[in-house]
Structure 1
Amino acid sequence: MIIEKKREMKHRLVLLIIILLTVLTIVISLGIGDYALSYNNLIPTLLGQGSFKDEFVLFDLRFPRMAITILSGMALALSGAVLQNITRNDLADPGIIGINSGAGVAVTVFFMYMPIDSKTFSYLVPIIAFIGALITAVIIYLLAYKKNEGVQPLRLVLLGVGLSMALSGLMIVIMSLADRSKVDFISKWLAGNVWGLDWAFVLAIFPCIVILVPYILYKSNTLNIIKLSRDVSIGVGMSIEKERFKLLMASVALSSFAVSVTGNISFIGLMAPHIAKALVGHRNQMFIPIAILMGGWLLLLADTIGQHLLQSGNIPAGIVVSVIGAPYFIYLLLKK
């Protein structure tokens, strides 16, 4: 009982620290940039008493970008946490196993060859990304499935890595055939440049996150059982393939909606769950809320560093995350 109380206290403390770090990063980000906002004017502007220019920069430029990065980071972290459970592989991540690339190919083809309507574009892009990611996930799932044995977790990850490379190559081919005026968009997407910068994009991805975060938290115990072994799952009466497929679809939806507005960002889904597990343990009920908040903060921090704190400026968040995430991935690979 005492141990359980200590765990709960530690869990709450970690949650509070991450929330405070996120708030601090938001405050710092609000005051820096091409148009510097005075911190003395920040509260009056928030209360609607600032100049027109201050209010425009704050409410129409900076807040939407921050909302996009935080929500997308949360979605990617949760997607990674689910994938690591259902594949029983700690190196699984939606960017590494090809789901993000599938979403990227679909968005690229849509952008290149479909008529663009500015009123519906922000709402169609996440749906198109989900369709591309879903097709990719189903192909990987079917190829990794063996009769009487179900999905082979290691096979699923390896197939995903191979398909991710193939889809990345396909995007480069599409770039070579595309109109030069549209190549810039694909380049930004591949680099992980946050491009969904207004409230319409926030509203487009918000419902997915609001629905799927509670759903996956509700399924935390199911994830605990799935991660143990196939025999244990069957022994407790769980339809493991059915549950695994439902959770895979939820993971695909989260990652595809996120990358549809942030570009090809990898490693958030890998790092955030691992950091959360290191802080509070491996029980999904404990580490998933931490991972969600950690993912939002990590992507916000990466975007802030890339846009404002590095000397050259305007470095895509995806590149900043990769610079940190790639060595971390190698460390995990050697450790496992």
Structure 2
Amino acid sequence: MNNASVEKFFDKVLTGRLTPDRQALDIIDQTLLPGTVKRINLSTKEEIWEAIKKLRVRGAPAIGVSAAYGMAVLSSRSQAADFDSFYSEFKANKEYLASSRPTAVNLFWALNRMEKTLLDNRTKSIPEIQEILYHEADKIQAEDVQISRNIGEIGFGLLKDLKKEGRPVGIETHCNAGTLATAKYGTATAPMYIALEHGWKGTDMHVYCDETRPLLQGARLTSFEVASAGITTTVQCDNMASSLMRAGLIDIIFVGCDRVARNGDFANKIGTSGLAIIAKHYGIPFYVCAPSSTIDMETPSGSQIPIEMRDPDEVTEMWYQERMAPENVNVYNPAFDVTDHSLITGMITEKGLCTAPFEDAFRKIGL
């Protein structure tokens, strides 16, 4: 796949950008993939909130970019005559969007950054501030692209060390931490796309996508985008990971994350912890692709990370013509689990590869 083909692929799947008139947020509705590729425009705070809550846009970096653009769009509509009124409207919109997802730290990071930008420019006119907020959201998006690219280059260095004649590098990933979840390259998929930019063929890699129950982000999203990029792709049920590793098909594992604690514990899509435990048993290197904005130095360990509990219907009814569990049973449906830092080979940030002890490593990269 040449660079022109790679860019064409990215243009097809990019999410979290503005419409040309800057009056709405333009996203791919990820709940419809892979069967339908549909872009939708979000122009009201209710539409943006619903899209984040219902996972029409998902992935920590993409949520952050979308929230920033959402705040710029909403602020551009303000008819406030003075700063205090404008700021009051901004705060109300910020608090409303913040209530959509409690775990993804990028959401709060982006909203707080937009608020700081507003406050830093409080002496300017309202129209000037509105324009500055658009520029800040553009900066957040551009920075996310560069962050993902840096993560990808570091991850590609790890892939190069595993390349052997006559067989592809076996890569396993969980959920979707790809282009659909960021402003461009993804985090966990970035090494694969950077490999293509460096001249690797799609057949030089074989990506195994955990289906990722109950929302099937791996089966629906990661396999869609990786296969669309021309990379050899296989989907397997989450409980088949041990079988894959025992068969010697997996050389390395890349996963994304939604929040990292100071000690290196991290929250990611439910099922990640089990995958890490299995990888440790088989001696498979396990890397977390984590933009530094997801590292929360105020949270000592994974025990303090809030875990979102989701609708029971996602387990019992969402993908079935008829309900697949009795009506009178309870359902346990956490969106994330916490993986202990002792199970991690390394954490790839845009500032470098961090290894244990993670708190020291995070301090060294300026956190």
* TM-based fold match above 0.5: no
Bigger RCO (CA 8 Å, 6+ sep): 1
Q: TM-score with structure 2 length normalisation?
A: 0.28
Structure holding more helix per residue? 1
* TM-score normalised by L of structure 1: 0.30
Which structure shows the bigger proportion of residues in strand conformation?
Answer: 2
